[in-house]
Amino acid sequence: MNDMPDVPIETIRADFDRLAHLDADGWSHNSHYHPYLLRLLPPRLDAALEIGCGRGAFARLLADRARQVVALDLSGEMIRLAEDASTAYPNIAYRQGDILDWDIPAESFDCVAAIATLHHIPLEPVLRKVKDALRPGGTLLVLDLYQADTALDYAWGVVGFPASWLMRLLKTGRQHPSHAAQEAWAAHGQHDSYLTLEQVRAAAAGLPGAQVRRHLLWRYSLVWRKP
């Protein structure tokens, strides 16, 4: 289904240990969609899980409305920087690890979020695991990159370039990420493999009513509320 390359997990971890210290200017293609994702959640949550939390930006937003947040990431450097930036959030528990190896108690979270993470791992097994981990009424939020496959995909991709340039300029005062960040992301990109939107929808077939939506900036969202 995923047609993913066999990239050793240590390679992915090393990539993100390097990326942890780069391009931390407070805005990214992913953070642009944080407000959108938050609007899909109720104002108060008991427990939330983020898979692939990075430096913790979205985990801290979740912590403003959740009693407890568990934030998981493969990279030890990402976890260290996230903890340093989250001293004012005692309700966040950061954990280093691989979601596929993590034993998640059944029906333990009101929200599970994954931002630009699930393209690194087979999607269907993670979705099955998340389905069990969510409480009835809980929400799955996925934001990730997709492989363009249709004329409409490519058209949205073309529009994404000027949109990205303008947003970055307005948010950071720069037209592009730093040279070091561009080099690191380009090296990491050699290990990436993305699904088409059709493949994402097929992987989400076990989540009745899941909504997959195309967005600007080469992203899609997958949203599901557990009955």
pLDDT tens per residue, range 92-130: 999 999 999 999 999 999 999 999 999 999 999 999 999
Q: Mean pLDDT score of the chain, rounded to an integer? A: 91
Whether 2 has a pLDDT exceeding 50, the answer reads no
Tokens of 39: 């609007």
Question: Domain ranges in the chain?
Answer: 9-225
Task: Please classify residue 4 by burial: count the beta carbons closer than 10 Å to its beta carbon, then call 0-12 exposed, 13-18 middle and 19+ buried.
Answer: middle
DSSP state of 106: T
And the tokens for 223? 């949203």
Mean per-residue pLDDT, 69-90 = 97
Taking only the tens place, the pLDDT of each residue in 203-225 is 999 999 999 999 999 999 999 99
pLDDT, position 171: 87
Domain 9-225 sits in CATH at 3.40.50.150
Going by their DSSP bridges, the two strands 109-115 and 134-145 should be labelled as parallel
Task: Return the percent helix, strand and coil in the chain, to nearest 5.
Answer: 45, 20, 35
From 16, 21, 69, select the one nearest 41 (Cα to Cα).
69
CA-closest candidate to residue 217, choices 140, 164, 180, 172: 164
Residue 187 vs residue 46, higher pLDDT: 46
For residue 42, give the amino acid letter: P
Contact 199, 146 (CB under 8 A): no
Cross-strand pairs, 111:
48, 139
User: Quick count: other Cβ atoms within 10 Å of Cβ 190?
Assistant: 10
The Cα 46–Cα 32 span in angstroms is 25
Query: What are the backbone dihedrals phi and psi of residue 174, each rounded to the nearest 5 degrees, phi first?
Result: -125, 150
Is the pLDDT assigned to residue 183 strictly greater than 80? Answer: no
Q: 2 — phi, psi (to 5°)? A: -80, -25
CA 158 to centroid of chain Cα atoms = 22
Under 8 Å CB-to-CB from 149, ≥6 apart: which residues? 196, 197, 198
- The packing angle between helices 9-19 and 179-189, to 10°, is 170
